[in-house]
Each structure stands twice: as C-alpha cells, then as structure tokens.
C-alpha cells in the first residue's frame, strides 16, 4: 500500500487514480491524524445484482432445490418475479 501526501495527491490525482486502477493497490493519504484511502472498487453489473437477489429469494426459508431438469425453470420463474417486483417499485 502506497502512502502519498495531500499536496502530491492534489497535483497528481488523475495519475494516482490510474495507477490504483492498473495495479489494484490502494493508496493512503494521511490528513493529520486521519487517513483517506483510494482503492479500486468493482461496481456490480445489473445482472450480478439481479442474480444475487434471485439467490436471496431462493434461500428465504424454502426447501433446497435439487439439481434436476426443473432447476432452470425454477430459476427463470424467480428471475421473472424479481423483475416484476423491480417494475412495481418504479
């Protein structure tokens, strides 16, 4: 983890961010007794968020679904329910 000064960070912020993205190594900027960290962040895609919601829904107190031919149909049904719920919230 690299540590740089505030004045260095201010004058080279674009380059600092590019380096963090490229190396995936966070940069710490001390400010008195406090510190700020610039670190890469993976923003989940809508598909990843939707799948997470589907799996949460499937795990809610339901019996486990065995892997069989009906698994795909069940997953698709839950995906449709999650999408319908999203549309209702808008």
Q: What pLDDT, in 10s, does the model give residues 11-29?
A: 889 999 999 999 999 999 9
Q: What is the rounded CA–CA span in Å between residue 76 and residue 36?
A: 43
Summarize the confidence of residues 25-43 as an average pLDDT. Answer: 90
pLDDT for res 74: 78
Q: Which of the following CATH numbers is that of domain 2-38: 3.40.50.2000, 3.40.1620.10, 3.30.450.40, 3.40.50.620? A: 3.40.1620.10
Entry pTM: 0.48
pLDDT for res 56: 80
Number of Cβ within a 10 Å radius of residue 70: 11
Q: Give ∠ CA 47-19-3 in degrees, rounded to 5.
A: 115
Q: What is the mean pLDDT of the chain?
A: 82
Lowest mean pLDDT segment, chosen from 19-23, 67-71, 74-78:
67-71
Greatest Cα-to-Cα distance within the chain, rounded to the nearest angstrom: 61
């Amino acid at each position: 983890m690299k540590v740089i000064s505030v004045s260095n960070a201010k004058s080279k912020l674009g380059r600092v961010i590019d380096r963090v993205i490229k190396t995936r190594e966070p940069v710490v900027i001390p400010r008195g007794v406090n510190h700020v960290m610039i670190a890469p962040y993976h923003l989940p895609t809508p598909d990843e968020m939707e799948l997470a919601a589907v799996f949460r829904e499937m795990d809610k107190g339901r019996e486990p679904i065995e892997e069989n031919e009906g698994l795909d149909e069940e997953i698709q049904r839950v995906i449709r329910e999650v999408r319908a719920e999203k549309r209702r919230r808008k």
